[in-house]
Structure 1
Amino acid sequence: MTAVVEPGLDENASADLAAASLALARRFAAGATLWCVAPAWEPHAQHVAVEFVHPVVVGTRALPAVALAGPDLVGTARVSARRGDVLLAVAGASDADVRSIMQRAPAWGITTIWVGSGPRPPAGSADHLLWIDEEDPLVPATGRFVLLYHLLWELTHVCFEHPGLLAEEPADCTDEVCVTCSDEGRLAEVISVEPGSARVRTAQGTESIATVLVEPVAVDELLLVHAGMAIGKVEQL
């Protein structure tokens, strides 16, 4: 049998799809909800959500997925996504709302999947990038995006057929206190501010931190936190 390759998809795309599908299946197995955004192409977000929540194949399970829309997409995603959830965006690399959501996602404790085309966003912008390297502005209307997230849906269900794959891989460090890990700054999003301190959201939950080294601090700012103290500000995209 000769494999048919859709224009714009290559062998690297299959590896990206496999990795994203496994990560998504593991998150769903742990109780996650999939949040979908597509600021310039809202039907794509709605289509992704319908694919996952509506099991058209006999024997497959309905998976919680919701399309988000509205004028304040970042704020809507912020209050909707819980730690452990997944957010999938369909957008170009220059979309300001998606760039902001992707940047904040580590502080929210969520996994991110970014579907797009044209120039790629910077490395590390999302946990999983499903990309078509063509600058044709009509790509979003050609069906190639639909192919990508249809394959994501199908491969996620393939992962469910192999329960042994769904267990999360153990973290490299299991000690209660790790000198190496503790040297790293954690991303935090400011929730509220008091003189000399702030309440922030991190991947571990909400916590109070000292802010004397980086004041003034404002709500929604992104900070790097180490040992209960803000040690730097993160320039917002």
Structure 2
Amino acid sequence: MSTDPEGITADLLDGSLADDLAAAALALARRFHAGATLWCVAPQWTPHAHHIAVEFVHPVIVGKRALPAVALTGPDLVAQARVCVRSGDIVMAVAAAGEPAVLELMRRAPAWGAHTVWIGSGHRPPGGAADHVLWQDDPDPLAPATGRFVLMYHLLWELTHVCFEHPGLLTNSEPDCTDEVCVTCSDEGRLAEVLRAPETPFGPARARTSNGEEDVDVTLVAPVRPGDLLLVHAGSALTRLDPAVRR
């Protein structure tokens, strides 16, 4: 049985996880190519966040490019990310499935226009919690300290650079919609985070979406306050998402 230098068996990366790593690496390469910054968090295991940031920003192989990456640490990761993350950036978390701060980050990232990657083990996050879930189904609570996570994000870093070696992969081949009224976009529901409540009873709220800041009609869901998450269609908020967790 083959092992890596840390004694981690290569067959830990089953077919499903290998496919997930490849898809995540391609998505990261495309984002970095477009100018993204990678924001790394690991509330329970801060060294993982630092390690990932160093891995991507430090070109340890001659000819490989340094990729912008920053570790976010501290008591309020959501507030930090809200200030730092730009549309097009990447948020990568190393955390258990029930980590409240990461659940909230992943929930809000679409409103910020950020792509998300979640690395962990044991019980899995809910379906659709992140754009890419890179998971080990090992229930051992010490799994994060065995080197398996390090193996995953080392492979993710290497595969991202492999994608850079194939420039044709770095741009999305799907054509932009040029129709005046797009059948797909016309039924679009976008996530928005309220930045400022309406100044008048029937005025718009100022909200942040993946397209930037915009005014949103909140008549159907009023009252709203900063931090609320809304589902917006055609400039109007149709519903407010569960406000149970606030940051």
TM over 0.5: yes
Equivalent residue in structure 2 for 1:33, among 33, 37, 46: 37
Q: How many Å separate the matches in 2 of 1:234 and 1:171?
A: 31
Q: How many Å separate the matches in 1 of 2:179 and 2:68?
A: 33
Check whether the contact 1:8–1:133 (CA below 8 A) recurs between aligned residues.
no
Which residue matches 2:6? none
1:210 aligns with 2:210: no
Q: CA deviation at 1:7?
A: 5.7
Q: CA deviation at 1:61?
A: 0.6
Task: Name the SS for the 1:225 alignment partner.
Answer: strand
Q: How many Å separate the matches in 2 of 1:53 and 1:100?
A: 26
1:231 aligns with 2:233: no
Equivalent residue in structure 2 for 1:198, among 196, 205, 222: 205
Residue identity matched to 1:111:
H
Equivalent residue in structure 1 for 2:74, among 70, 75, 91: 70
Aligned-pair Cα RMSD in Å = 1.5
- Structure 1 segment 133-212 matched on structure 2, within 5 A: 133-170=137-174, 173-194=177-198, 195=200, 196=202, 197-212=204-219
Check whether the contact 2:2–2:10 (CA below 8 A) recurs between aligned residues.
no
State the identity %: 64
Which residue matches 1:81? 85
Which residue matches 1:110? 114
Q: CA deviation at 1:116?
A: 0.5
Check whether the contact 2:195–2:206 (CA below 8 A) recurs between aligned residues.
yes
Residue identity matched to 1:109:
G
Q: How many Å separate the matches in 1 of 2:210 and 2:138?
A: 34
> Gaps (5+ residues) in structure 2?
4-8
How many matched pairs? 236
Q: CA deviation at 1:11?
A: 1.1
TM-score (structure 2 length as normaliser):
0.91
> Gaps (5+ residues) in structure 1?
none
Q: How many Å separate the matches in 1 of 2:38 and 2:186?
A: 30
